Amino acid sequence: MENKKNNHFRFSLLFASIFAVFTSCEREISDEVEFATFPATGDIFTDDPIGLGTFFYFPYGPSPENPPGSKPTAWSVDNEVSYEGDASMRFDVPNADDPEGNFAGAIFRIDGEGSGRDLTGFDALTFWAKASQNVTINEMGFGEDFGENKYVTTRQNVPLTTNWVKYIIPIPDPSKLVRERGMFRYAAGSVNELGYTFWVDELRFEKLGTVAQPQPAIFSGQDLVQQTFNGSELNVTGITQTYNLANGVNQTVVAAPSYFTFSSSNPNAVQVSSLGEISVVGEGTAKVSALIAGVKAKGSLEITSTGNIVSAPTPQAPAAEVISLFSNQYDNVPVTTFRADFGNTEISDIAVNGDDFKLYSNLNFVGIQFPTIDATGKSSLFLDIYTNDVANGNFQVQVRDQGTNGELNTNIFTGQPIEDDAETRLDLSPSQLTPGQWITIEVPLTGGLTNQKSNISQIVFVGDIDFLMDNLYFR
Amino acid sequence: MKKYKNILGFIPLLLALIMSCSNDDTQKVVNFTQISMQDEFDTDGTPNSSIWGYEIGTGANGWGNNELQYYTDRTENVTVQNGKLLITAREEDFNGSSYTSARLITKDLFEQRYGRFEARIKLPYGQGIWPAFWMLGADIDENSWPACGEIDIMEYRGQNPSVLIGSVHGPGYSGGEAISKEYTLENDRFDTGFHVFGIEWGPEYINYYVDDVLYNQITPEDVTGEWVFNKPFFILMNLAIGGNFVGSPNDETVFPQTMIVDYVRVYNN
């Protein structure tokens, strides 16, 4: 009830302000209409932290992927070292085996939920920095607030030297930053497991006036093509903004999706959220592109959905009998790569209604490689494939045992196994690949593998069809 | 030392220019107010052929500087659109060169001794991009370069987008020995907006200015050879690619690049 009332109040306020705007030739907007404004302060650290409040330093801390996390005490104010004035920010990057944390990394966030700065008048975050040795800092930037992280901006691989140098991190689109709390962020790892120290001074947002000639990009500037199916979810990746600086350098930063406006040329087939999440909602073709501050980003993704997809039949084999490489039905063993790099095949992950598939497109010759599997006692490799293509020539599956010498040995001219490797191959003719339905392929571990299948480490697909693959396992 | 003296000399000069734009008999500042040539580029299509001719090709050794472009008079490289002259450099294979561009020249069409020569230009940018608005002594066919003299009103390296270079070349002070001065635009750059590049040239002096800032004066005392700036000169405008002055473009250089000229105006008194 209260909520509703509140909405009503907002609505009338909106109306009032629209009215005020329409009539503003003669009148100022009413005093009762207050637009929130935030300080346009640029300085973050000169000799002390500026205007950040009491609690502003938040280390990344432990994460599931990296349990040791970042060392909480890596940052301090150094009163002995400074570029200007009498203090700088000091960052002690720990050794890789430091029990308190195996890297240094944190955000500097203005204290207080309602806080923030208006950064629309600036064009870059700048600072002076040096290090105890020549070193590359993995990430430095701003816009991370551990909330929406809406405008995270990161310059990667910042090359510090032992001399003070000024560094510039361009703001991808300043007009977006009407209220930003994430003033600074960094992440720095050890070098050859050893720590070091770096210093940052005179950290501030600035209007340089020389940040120009934007060259934004999505998908790393590539024009990509993707076949997929209704219900699949993809992301806009490779999102960057590049500005030319006064010294002629083109400085690229990794930019959060929210700086961009995404569009789909065919919303009946493909929709894109403001966070760059792509939803394939219907059959057809659509091109995903992006704009930032009126400039079209280089790169696009043309998506064709061939319609609804049905899941592959659920494998019936008991889990205890299979060694699975890729299936939602089983626990999977590790796979090093689904795209061993000897062809132009594109592979994408597709998830529809919680079921995962690998989509192979532009197939010619592609390998799946994995730590050796002992398939002794297994009779076959199984996989399910689904294609809409009419095959032109055979589709072939190769299964390779690498023997005991710890590596694959292949005649690079014939593709045949040499040294202690052994192999079996199965060819399927076009008539065996019925388009528009799931086909289960069984590759008997016979031929060269009859007596050698304890070190299987590679599966190869050869052919010219685009296909979905699921349920890849030995049984 | 010499530069220091010059800087001290410019402060009153600058004040004089900004405050009154009037003659100052101790500073040799003269106002030229009568238009003698003017192209506002108001007619779309090819530039006015009664003012502008073209130099075509690669010259000798890339116009003496190992420049990489092939100059043409094609619409792709030079055209007037929406009230602006567009000189566009493109990356394309053309008659053995990897780039094309254009060079406009008023030789045999317009020349003048002394006066105010200015153009309002938005410059291109990028490694290896070399636009210029400049003049050569009109007697160049009888009196070859550098003896004929050269006045560079505007030169610029695309990799230094905030820095303008103004120079004179003459006998004994040409090429790398030219009498030259850089001007840095503070908190701004020349490729994001239009700027006026000009000289006021009278007997025994050439004043260089950009927008409302007078940044250099060159007099016979400054040159290390004969002062040859006492005869008619003609105008050139071009967009060169690569060459000794800027180095070659690299992977990051964006093509095409366009030098956009709003107007060229010449005054005398």
Asked, for residue B12, whether it belongs to a domain, the answer is no
Share of chain A above pLDDT 70, in %: 92
Beta-carbon count within 10 A of A320 CB: 6
Mind telling me the catalytic residues of B? 150, 155
Per-residue pLDDT tens for B47-63? 999 999 999 999 999 99
Rg (CA), chain B: 18
CA distance B163 to B150: 20
Whether A213 and chain B come into contact, CB under 8 Å, resolves to yes
CA distance A115 to B140: 68
Asked, for residue B3, whether it belongs to a domain, the answer is no
Asked, for residue A90, whether it belongs to a domain, the answer is yes
Give the number of A-B residue pairs with CB atoms closer than 8 Å.
36
Average pLDDT, chain A: 90
Whether A247 and chain B come into contact, CB under 8 Å, resolves to yes
Residues A301 and A326 in one domain: no
Q: Which of A226-240, A243-257, A435-449, B84-98 shows the lowest mean pLDDT across its residues?
A: A226-240
Angle at A127 between CA A121 and CA A130, to 5 degrees: 170
Contact between chains at A246 and B162 (C-beta distance less than 8 A): yes
Asked, for residue A37, whether it belongs to a domain, the answer is no
The closest of B267, B228, B36 to B140, measured between CA atoms, is B228
Asked, for residue B228, whether it belongs to a domain, the answer is yes
In a 10 Å sphere around its CB, with 0-12 CB exposed, 13-18 middle and 19+ buried, how is residue B82 labelled? exposed
CA distance A282 to B134: 60
Asked, for residue A351, whether it belongs to a domain, the answer is yes
Asked, for residue A12, whether it belongs to a domain, the answer is no
Average pLDDT, chain B: 90
Domain containing residue B98: 32-268
Residues A334 and A433 in one domain: yes
Residue that has been written with the tokens 């590596």 in this structure: A407
pLDDT at B1 over 90: no
Domain containing residue A100: 43-206
Residue A313 or residue A10, greater confidence = A313
Chain A nearest-CA distance from B1, in A, is 27
Which of A244, A247, A252, A295 should we substitute to test contact with B (largest number of B Cβ atoms within 10 Å)? Answer: A244
DSSP assignment of B8-70, as one string? HHHHHHHHHHHHT---BTTTTB----EEEEEE---S-BS--TTT-EE--B-TTTIIIII--EE
Structural domain tally of chain B? 1
Report the CATH number that the domain containing residue A54 is assigned in CATH: 2.60.120.430
CA distances from A359 to A66, A80, A370 (A): 30, 57, 19
Comparing alpha-carbon positions, the chain B residue that sits nearest to A206 is: B187
The closest of A271, A283, A327, A286 to A309, measured between CA atoms, is A283
CA distance B117 to B197: 8
Residues A236 and A362 in one domain: no
Query: According to the model, what pLDDT value does residue A452 have?
Result: 95
pLDDT at A39 over 90: yes
β partners of residue B191: none
Contact between chains at B189 and A212 (C-beta distance less than 8 A): yes
Asked, for residue B18, whether it belongs to a domain, the answer is no
Pairing label, strands B97-101, B69-71? parallel
Residues A461 and A433 in one domain: yes
Structural domain tally of chain A? 3
Residues A271 and A419 in one domain: no
Asked, for residue A9, whether it belongs to a domain, the answer is no
Residues A237 and A157 in one domain: no
Chain A hits for B256, CB-CB cut-off 8 Å, are: none
Asked, for residue A165, whether it belongs to a domain, the answer is yes
Query: According to the model, what pLDDT value does residue A6 have?
Result: 38
Residues 6 or more apart from A180 whose CB is under 8 A from it? A116, A117, A119, A142, A143, A145, A151
Asked, for residue A34, whether it belongs to a domain, the answer is no
Per-residue pLDDT tens for A268-285? 999 999 999 999 999 999
Residues A416 and A439 in one domain: yes
How confident is the model over B139-161, as a mean pLDDT?
97
Choose one of A164, A183, A206: the last residue of a domain. Answer: A206
Asked, for residue A79, whether it belongs to a domain, the answer is yes
Instruction: Say which amino acid occupies B167.
Output: S
Chain B hits for A208, CB-CB cut-off 8 Å, are: 187
Residues A270 and A390 in one domain: no
Residues 6 or more apart from A369 whose CB is under 8 A from it? A335, A336, A337, A340, A408, A457, A458
Contact between chains at B187 and A208 (C-beta distance less than 8 A): yes
Report the CATH number that the domain containing residue B178 is assigned in CATH: 2.60.120.200
Chain B nearest-CA distance from A13, in A, is 40
Sign of CA dihedral B245, B249, B254, B257: positive
* Residue ranges with strand state E in A221-379: 223-228, 233-235, 240-244, 250-255, 261-264, 270-272, 277-280, 284-292, 295-296, 300-305, 323-326, 337-340, 346-352, 355-361, 365-373
Comparing alpha-carbon positions, the chain B residue that sits nearest to A210 is: B188
pLDDT at A308 over 90: no
Residues A279 and A402 in one domain: no
Per-residue pLDDT tens for A142-183? 999 999 999 999 999 999 999 999 999 999 999 999 999 999
Residues A324 and A464 in one domain: yes
pLDDT at A3 over 60: no
CA distance A272 to A290: 10
pLDDT at A341 over 80: no
How confident is the model over A239-248, as a mean pLDDT?
97
β partners of residue A170: A124
Choose one of A157, A180, A206: the last residue of a domain. Answer: A206
Asked, for residue B168, whether it belongs to a domain, the answer is yes
Whether A175 and chain B come into contact, CB under 8 Å, resolves to no
CA distance B102 to B89: 7
Contact between chains at A207 and B126 (C-beta distance less than 8 A): no
Residues A172 and A234 in one domain: no
The full length of chain A comes to: 475
Collapsing DSSP to helix, strand or coil, A8 comes out as: helix
Report the CATH number that the domain containing residue A386 is assigned in CATH: 2.60.120.200
Asked, for residue B20, whether it belongs to a domain, the answer is no
Beta-carbon count within 10 A of A192 CB: 6
Chain B nearest-CA distance from A209, in A, is 5
Residues A337 and A465 in one domain: yes
Asked, for residue B15, whether it belongs to a domain, the answer is no
Per-residue pLDDT tens for B18-45? 444 444 444 455 578 899 999 999 999 9
